[in-house]
Amino acid sequence: MKKLVLAIPITVCSLLILPSAHAVEEERDDKALKEVQEVVKKVQARYEKTRDLQADFKQSTKIEGFATPIASSGRVYIKKPGRLRWDYLDPNVEEIYVKKDEVMMYVPEHQQVLVGKLTQMAASQAPLQLLQGVAQLEEEFQVEPTPGGKRGAGGVPLVTLLPKQTAESEPVRTLNWIVLEVQPKTFFIKTVSIHEISGNVSTFEFTNLKPNQGLKNDLFEFTVPAGVEVVKAPTLRAP
């Protein structure tokens, strides 16, 4: 009994001189936040030095309520300022051309071109907006550690991006958050996972990245072929 009586005050004293669990947790959270903020700075520095970029991509989209993801692949081209071309090559051919906020999506199989604003198109186009303005991540997104402190290639922490809401974006909000994985040496984006409000999740993996190849402007120009219908994209509404 005497040992028990002594043990209680000793335990209490040890708790008083040790940092509280809450304080330790806060310190851990601060450290995790600073770590992902440093990753974002390196990503932004890398893309600020990148005049143009081409890469292959694989896309896997999990649709809420469906067991089997939809897989596709293709190639993406980026050129400053604000030019982007996104080509789906498999299983279906689609070409997406972006010039700042203007988007043209050509689907040869349907003989149709969809024309609209990047900010008004579906959340599945979020990687276009992300890659197009990647050097301004902290302006467009709130940077957070990924829950659980998950890490990607080379032990680099995954970064969660929460879109900052504005009066312009609120009517078309379809995006919950984005998770980034970066290349450990170059800090180019390796994967992007887009989590939509609907529950759909699209993951893009980028490989064979080739920066500063001197991509020509012609690569980003699109002329509507004869006989192809031009359709204006509908404006999204909040769900």
What region does 176 belong to: left with phi over 0, alpha with psi -120 to 50, or beta?
alpha
Mean pLDDT for 225-234 is: 89
- Partnered with residue 161 across adjacent β-strands are 143, 178
Mean of pLDDT over the chain: 81
Buried b (16+ CB within 10 A) or exposed e, 52-62: bbbbebebebb
CA distance 165 to 146: 20
CA distance 138 to 209: 23
> Are β-strands 112-117 and 229-232 bridged in parallel, bridged antiparallel, or unpaired?
parallel
Mean pLDDT for 159-176 is: 73
- Partnered with residue 145 across adjacent β-strands are 159
**CA separation (Å) from 54 to 50, 67, 182?**
11, 32, 16
- Token code pair at residue 152: 């990607």
Per-residue pLDDT at 9: 43
Of the CA atoms within 13 Å of residue 210, those in its CB half-sphere come to 10
155 pLDDT above the threshold of 90: yes
Per-residue pLDDT at 13: 35
Give me the numbers of helices (H) and strands (E) for the chain, helices first please. 4, 12
Please give the residue that has the higher pLDDT: either 124 or 144. 144
Strands (DSSP E) contained in 108-226 are: 112-117, 141-145, 159-163, 175-182, 189-196, 201-211
Mean pLDDT for 151-179 is: 81
Mean pLDDT for 216-235 is: 90
Domains in the chain, ordered, with CATH? 24-232 (2.50.20.10)
135 falls in which pLDDT band (50, 70, 90)? low
User: What is the value of pTM for the model shown?
Assistant: 0.80
Contact 157, 146 (CB under 8 A): yes
Per-residue pLDDT at 14: 37
- Of 3-7, 16-20, 81-85, 158-162, give the lowest mean pLDDT range: 3-7
Cα end-to-end span (Å), the chain: 64
